Amino acid sequence: MKARDTYCVPGCRPKHWLTMAREIINLDTSSKQVRVANNFGALPIISIKANSFFKPALWTNFIPLKSANKLRDSMHEQIMKLSTNCTQLQTKNSGHFIWVDEPEIISTAVKMIIENLQQA
């Protein structure tokens, strides 16, 4: 059984849409926060990057997907500079909702952090 079979998929609850709207509205603020973040030394960081902010669908033709992806790419570049011990994992079939589309990559990232800390 996949995670999407046991959990409500994104979009099935009204709170999801409110949260998503706030997230999109605050993308610029998030980008600025990443820019002013200090160097975290060798703190292990795993950056998980989806192929696109949203999976292509009919409705994504009505949003500035190209701009959202450009900003997301810029934010991921900044994240990679936060630590000397930063790794990026690329999803294969996910949009922004990685925990729904590919939950196993979240588990992989957690295991990588634990292994990294155990070696330190």
pLDDT tens-digit series, residues 85-119: 999 999 988 877 888 889 999 999 999 999 999 98
At 70-90, the pLDDT tens digits run: 888 888 898 898 899 999 999
Mean pLDDT, the chain, whole residue set:
82
CA separation, residue 72 to residues 9, 26, 35, 49, 66 (Å): 22, 12, 13, 9, 10
pLDDT tier at 3, thresholds 50, 70, 90: very low
Domain boundaries, the chain: 45-120
**Token pair 């926060």 in the structure block, residue:** 33
